[in-house]
Amino acid sequence: MIALLQRVSHASVSVDNQVVGEIAQGLLVLLAIEPEDNQVKAKRLAERVAGYRIFSDENGKMNLNVKQVNGEILVVSQFTLAANTSKGLRPSFTSAASPEMSEELYQYFCSQLRHLGFAVPTGVFGADMQVSLLNDGPVTINLQA
């Protein structure tokens, strides 16, 4: 399971020119599911995302997590993060989990964040989405379960 975290001032995701999820300050999480992933990994990754200290404290040091800055979390499925790019000039997506498995674990991951107290707007699983964001820093972190 791969979560690409982007610290944002604001972010939104649209489908067919309609905003389906948006946040102000917080984290945009692009999430990919791999075949060996499971609910244990999803729960652990959700806890890590919620607790990861990538927001600045009063001294400008990355010491605070998203909850400590009253931030929000937007989760968007993105199977392309699981791309195998080791050969050739075209990515292979055989290392991504099946759509059925991916959607189940994607929903479970989001439910775990909700259990931790976040509203968690999302994109639409499997849809052609447009993501807009203002990356703050920029800060982008690749977390894997």
Is 78 marked active-site?
A: yes
Instruction: For residues 125 and 128, give the distance between their C-alpha atoms in angstroms, rounded to a whole number.
Output: 9
Instruction: For residues 3 and 76, give the distance between their C-alpha atoms in angstroms, rounded to a whole number.
Output: 10
Catalytic site residue from 55, 79, 109, 118? 79
Catalytic site residue from 6, 78, 112, 122? 78
Q: Which residues pair with 74 in a beta bridge?
A: 28
4's tokens: 């690409």
Nearest alpha carbon to residue 110 among 66, 45, 22: 45
Catalytic site residue from 39, 68, 80, 130? 80
Is 112 marked active-site?
A: no
- CA distances for 86 relative to 2, 89, 91, 93, 142, angstroms: 17, 9, 8, 12, 18
Is 125 marked active-site?
A: no
Instruction: For residues 107 and 77, give the distance between their C-alpha atoms in angstroms, rounded to a whole number.
Output: 10
For the chain, the distance separating the N- and C-terminal CA atoms, rounded to the nearest angstrom, is 5
Positions marked catalytic = 78-80
